[in-house]
Amino acid sequence: MKNTLARFLSYFGYTVILFIITYRGFKYEYLIADQTSEDYGTITFYKQMVFFLIFTIVLGVLFALPSLAKKIMRQGKWNFDWVQFLSVGIPSIIVAAAPLIHFSSISIGGLLSPLVLPGYGRFISAIAGIAFGFNMLICIKKVNR
């Protein structure tokens, strides 16, 4: 009973902390967006896109931390699953960075343009950034040898 209550409180506390970090991060991102709309500056526009990319990746890492904590407690040798990282990580970071790539001087023939559509592009980029951050820690494994 005591162990169950401790687990519940730790998961609940972690969830509350994640909600607070998510709320504050998106609030800061909207402040940057307001600054961009006031001065029409491309520097603040890129600042907003870079912050959004980094923030979503950090959120994904935070979501995967409980899994990493469980792995730390296990016996075994550390291993990194390169196949999973490359097959999930590379496409997800490209999709997450699509708005930044699209509006930068890097040209890849408009291949990523559909991912930057108003309304959907931001959502897709957020999900991809979270997936990339989550995948970074999930690929770290402990193998019994």
pLDDT digits (tens, 9 = 90+) for 38-85: 666 666 677 778 888 899 999 999 999 988 888 888 888 999 999 999
Residue 96 pLDDT > 60: yes
Residue 3 pLDDT > 90: no
What percent of the chain clears pLDDT 90, i.e. is strictly above it? 39
How far apart are the C-alpha atoms of 63 and 15, rounded to whole Å? 9
DSSP state of 86: I
- Which of 13-27, 31-45, 69-83, 93-107 has the weakest average pLDDT? 31-45
DSSP state of 85: I
Q: Give the mean model confidence (pLDDT) for residues 92-115.
A: 71
Q: What is the pLDDT of residue 121?
A: 61
Structural domain boundaries, residue 47: 2-143
Q: Give the mean model confidence (pLDDT) for residues 90-96.
A: 89
| Environment class of 52 (CB within 10 Å of its CB; exposed 0-12, middle 13-18, buried 19+) | buried
| Environment class of 49 (CB within 10 Å of its CB; exposed 0-12, middle 13-18, buried 19+) | buried
| Environment class of 99 (CB within 10 Å of its CB; exposed 0-12, middle 13-18, buried 19+) | buried
Total domains in the chain come to: 1
